Amino acid sequence: MTKTLNLGMIGYGFMGRAHSNAFRKVGHFFNLPYKINLKAACARNDAKVKAFADQWGYESTETDWRKLIERKDIDVIDICTPNNSHAEIALAAAAAGKMILCEKPLAMNGPEGLKMVEAVEKAGVANMVWYNYRRIPAVTLAKQLIDEGRLGRIFHYRAKFLQDWTINPDVPQGGAGTWRLDLAAAGSGVSGDLLAHCIDTALWLNGPLESITAMTETFVKERKHALTGKVEKVGIDDACQFIGKFDNGSLANFESTRYARGHKALYTFEVNGENASLFWDLHDLHRLQYFDHRDQGIVRGWRSIHVTDGDHPYMGNWWVPGLAIGYEHSFVHQVADFLEGVGKNQLAGPTFRDAYQTQLVLDAIIASSNQSSWVSVGK
Ligand code: SOE
């Protein structure tokens, strides 16, 4: 029989909506040992959190996250707040024995992330971080093809995440929506916000990074702060690039920026192996490009696999072959895997510990950029 887990969501921004949508949909499309009941939504602004709760069907609201965590009728806490509050909330939730879902990046930095890992492991509570792109079916298929050994020895892994929404110097830092530009709230700029997604996927597909050398740039040096009203120094990285080496000997080439005019969310990665290569593009998310050198010469070429067939990852749960799904489904898949994992007592990744590895790469990026030198990635 399907059991119910009562969920308490903290925050109601873009991710609050993406997660709520996933919690509502998942049980209709996946047969799972658990279902999620939207028990409470929590945020400081009473009127806004009530409106959010009404819209998504949460049973109740709170304006203090500590009260939410104290509630006996809550099993799972979902942290959708800015990065600087993830640790405090997660530590309290773990101490209260709640399962925890946390938005990415896990923490402000590695040491803070480690405390979170230790807290959930000590408490023995289920935990997961919302690096959702792993669960786009084409990306999951890439993982399957690599794990089957089809690519052979991997030589290159390259990834980019390009946006253009902060080019205007009038975009403020701080406050709702633009806290991502405020170092105190975000911990870093595009490295933690965008490149973190590329790093999570890369570590999952290609294993750990050994060492890197990075370069970051802040193009707009001062912005008005939405909370203080004052023009303040900008502390985040606006753009970030690094090269590096993976433990398996392959070379890494990564870039993220919010200054690539014309690109709104262009996440791409390419993996080149001795036998085959893969390429994926978020703007064409249901396709995986695959080149296999072992194909007969006269028909050899890049295949554009439309990842919508019943035997493709997750797709058997949706429509009929050929009909595409989208961005929001990656969150549905993540909830499905989380609930399946809870049922089997086998945590689905990325766990806090997995996400901590990404955090260590982010720390290495900032250290390398500050020191203008190669840095070993912590393990
Ligand atoms: C930033 O614009 C952002 O919304 C990130 O915060 C998300 O993690 C990314 O998936 C899309 O872009």
What is the band of 177 on the pLDDT scale with cuts at 50, 70, 90?
Answer: confident
What is the band of 361 on the pLDDT scale with cuts at 50, 70, 90?
Answer: very high
On whether both 63 and 120 belong to a single domain, the answer is yes
Per-residue pLDDT, 327 = 98
| pLDDT beyond 90 at 1 | no
Element (H, E) at 255: strand 251-257
Among the listed residues 90, 125, 136, 132, the one whose alpha carbon sits nearest the alpha carbon of residue 5 = 125
What is the band of 359 on the pLDDT scale with cuts at 50, 70, 90?
Answer: very high
Rounding to the nearest 10 degrees, give the CA dihedral for residues 38, 359, 133, 353.
-60
On whether both 52 and 180 belong to a single domain, the answer is no
Q: Whose CA is nearest to atom 11 of ligand 1?
A: 265
Which of 108, 132, 156 is where one domain is finished?
132
Averaged pLDDT of the chain: 97
| pLDDT beyond 80 at 366 | yes
Which of 83, 181, 193, 236 to mutate to test ligand 1, by most ligand atoms within 8 A of the CB atom? Answer: 193
Residues 334 and 133: their CA atoms lie apart, in Å, by 9
| DSSP assignment of 133-202 | GGGSHHHHHHHHHHHTTTT-SEEEEEEEEE--TT-STTS-BSSTTTGGG-HHHHSSSHIIIIIHHHHHHH
Q: Is 103 in the pocket of ligand 1 (CB under 6 A)?
A: no
On whether both 32 and 60 belong to a single domain, the answer is yes
Give the residue, 314 or 177, on which the prediction is more confident.
314
| pLDDT beyond 90 at 379 | no
Domain count, the chain: 2
pLDDT digits over 26-71, tens only?
A: 999 999 999 999 999 999 999 999 999 999 999 999 999 999 999 9
Full residue range of the structural domain in which residue 207 is found:
134-376
Q: Is 193 in the pocket of ligand 1 (CB under 6 A)?
A: yes
On whether both 259 and 127 belong to a single domain, the answer is no
pLDDT digits over 326-336, tens only?
A: 999 999 999 99
On whether both 117 and 140 belong to a single domain, the answer is no
On whether both 186 and 234 belong to a single domain, the answer is yes
Residues 284 and 299: their CA atoms lie apart, in Å, by 24
3-state helix, strand, coil in the chain (%, to 5): 40, 25, 35
On whether both 121 and 242 belong to a single domain, the answer is no
8 A C-beta contact, residue 101 and residue 130: yes
